[in-house]
């Protein structure tokens, strides 16, 4: 849908002033640089990782107005002075994920990243609102993790009303606790922050690795600052189409999660000798429904109900690395040991730091998705779309709907998403994607590839783990190295065989 002309003009003026504001902030950051020091003791980042701060405007249309500080960290490149190519800046996704652990890939000598580490300082950061960077909050963290929560799958209209009430209260809580930040918690602003970080690092152009939501951040950066990009690698791609951000993207996710859940339950059945859950996919699915029903009737250990089960079990469709541990926990439960399941799926009220981080991550996720785009405000639309989708894709649909429903009553102006496209000076972008990814369905990679001229797409076929570049698959790993080290891409798109399937 086209925005009304008056809005477009007003938005256009604002965009110009924000571009000017970014240039002012970046010039200042380039002069100031970053005062690198040992990281604070409680950040869990040991030497030789160093930490620092970069100041950015809260509102880029007012570059001399209120500033917020973003936490950044780095591990220096391991190669010679001649081999060094600058900084490689990382975002793991979310929205709401912290990139601060990325430099540990150098300090812990991650074999996949050894060649790249010779050429680049690895730089992580907490995006605005996240972690140490002016963190936002929507509810008391200890309340946020309390369990059991309502079963996401509604049995009645009364169940839906209860969930709608919770979602509206959550939206109100965000405004109450973090109101000043909310209008500015957008992907374009985080992309502008990225440009200021680039300048503060002393890099003329940005080298960027974005995973999951980090791919959308990268796509928006490439659109706003095409001639500031040197190398950009995006992995597990959010569909950047304006029609998808963010309501439709979440519905698409529900379909992909069901597909990947079915892949996993089939694998569990094939490995019945190890897990004893069921020797056919149908039997495994029946056991899941039985577990869900039992937890609904009486929460396991008093804390694990259906909502907590989904919170834990969704790890398996997300990441292949969770296939074995998730099945093992389930297997133990069926053998009469519920302790492992309670520990894995229930809250740990003593872990106050972890609970603060979990609540903060959810707050940022909600704030960015709600502010980035207009959401349907009519409950009938949500109800119709999710009821229909749930019939064939029951694993995640309602849980995802309730997580996003605060956006329907968001008390802050919602923006129009950036039209992601190639601009003058944008070099080839490398796109990596598995075919059966649950969190960011494959079509998103195809869409971004079509929008960014000269980009290359590497498809990992018959695979579905989210975040491909950190898995062992030489067909992909070697191309990632070649691109980051020399800017080289294949002359055409590439299909790679899948990485190894997990073994019990």
Catalytic residues: 212, 437, 466
C-alpha span between 454 and 209 (Å, rounded) = 18
Helix (H, G, I), strand (E, B) or coil at 373: coil
The rounded Cα 345 to chain-centroid distance in angstroms is: 21
DSSP string computed for 32-84: H----EEPPGGG---TT-EEEEEEEESSTTSTTS-EEEEEEEEE--SS-TTT-
Helix (H, G, I), strand (E, B) or coil at 425: coil
Sort strands 37-38 and 50-57 into parallel, antiparallel or unpaired: antiparallel
Give me the numbers of helices (H) and strands (E) for the chain, helices first please: 19, 10
At 194, which helix (H) or strand (E)?
A: helix 187-200
DSSP string computed for 137-166: -SS-HHHHH-SPPPPSS-SSHHHHHHHHHH
Closest CA to 489 of 456, 465, 450, 462: 456
β-bridge mates for residue 52, sequence order: 72
Q: Tally Cβ neighbours within 10 Å of residue 246.
A: 23
Closest CA to 232 of 251, 206, 260, 262: 206
In the DSSP assignment, the letter for residue 304 is B
Q: Tally Cβ neighbours within 10 Å of residue 491.
A: 6
C-alpha span between 37 and 322 (Å, rounded) = 36
The rounded Cα 161 to chain-centroid distance in angstroms is: 29
Using the structure block, give the residue that is written with the tokens 């002069």: 31
In the DSSP assignment, the letter for residue 90 is E
C-alpha span between 171 and 411 (Å, rounded) = 7
Q: Tally Cβ neighbours within 10 Å of residue 155.
A: 9
């Amino acid at each position: 849908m086209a925005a009304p002309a008056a809005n477009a003009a007003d938005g256009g003026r604002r965009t110009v002033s924000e571009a000017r504001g970014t240039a002012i902030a970046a010039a200042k950051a380039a002069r100031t640089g970053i005062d690198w020091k040992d990281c604070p003791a409680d950040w869990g980042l040991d030497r030789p990782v160093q930490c620092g701060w970069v100041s950015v405007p809260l509102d880029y249309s007012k570059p001399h107005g209120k500033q917020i500080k973003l936490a950044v960290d780095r591990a220096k490149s391991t190669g010679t002075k001649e081999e060094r190519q600058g900084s490689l800046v990382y975002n793991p996704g979310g929205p709401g994920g912290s990139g601060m652990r990325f430099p540990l890939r150098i300090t812990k000598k991650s074999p996949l990243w050894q060649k790249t580490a010779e050429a680049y300082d690895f730089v992580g950061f907490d995006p605005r609102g996240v972690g140490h960077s002016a963190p936002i909050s929507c509810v008391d963290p200890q309340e946020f993790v309390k369990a059991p929560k309502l079963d996401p799958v509604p049995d009645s209209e009364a169940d839906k009303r209860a969930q709608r009430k919770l979602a509206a209260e959550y939206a109100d809580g965000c405004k109450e606790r973090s109101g000043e930040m909310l209008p500015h918690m957008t992907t374009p602003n985080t992309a502008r922050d990225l440009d200021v970080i680039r300048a503060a690092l002393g890099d003329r152009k940005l080298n960027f690795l974005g995973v999951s939501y980090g791919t959308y951040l990268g796509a928006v950066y490439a659109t706003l600052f095409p001639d500031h990009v040197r190398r950009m690698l995006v992995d597990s791609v959010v569909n950047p189409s304006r029609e998808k951000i963010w309501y439709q993207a979440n519905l698409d996710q529900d379909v992909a999660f069901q597909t990947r859940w079915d892949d996993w339950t089939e694998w569990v059945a094939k490995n019945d000798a190890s897990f004893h859950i069921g020797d056919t996919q149908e039997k495994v699915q029946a056991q899941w429904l039985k577990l869900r029903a039992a937890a609904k009737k009486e929460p396991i250990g008093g804390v694990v109900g259906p909502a907590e089960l989904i919170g834990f079990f969704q790890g398996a469709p997300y990441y292949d690395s969770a296939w074995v541990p998730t099945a093992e926990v389930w297997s133990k439960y069926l053998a009469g040991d519920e302790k492992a399941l309670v520990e894995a799926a229930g809250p740990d009220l003593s872990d106050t730091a972890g609970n603060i981080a979990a609540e903060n991550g959810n707050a940022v996720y909600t704030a960015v998705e709600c502010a980035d785009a207009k959401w349907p405000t009519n409950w009938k639309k949500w109800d119709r779309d999710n009821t229909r989708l749930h019939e064939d894709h029951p694993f995640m649909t309602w849980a995802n709907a309730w997580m996003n429903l605060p956006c329907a009553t968001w008390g802050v102006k919602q923006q129009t998403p950036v039209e992601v496209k190639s601009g003058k000076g944008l070099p080839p972008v490398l796109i990596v994607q598995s075919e059966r990814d649950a969190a960011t369905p494959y079509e998103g990679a195809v869409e971004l590839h079509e929008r960014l001229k000269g980009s290359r797409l590497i498809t990992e076929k018959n695979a579905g783990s989210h975040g491909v570049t950190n898995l062992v698959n030489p067909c992909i790993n070697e191309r990632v190295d070649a691109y980051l080290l020399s800017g080289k891409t294949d002359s055409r798109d590439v299909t790679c065989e899948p990485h190894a399937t997990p073994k019990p």
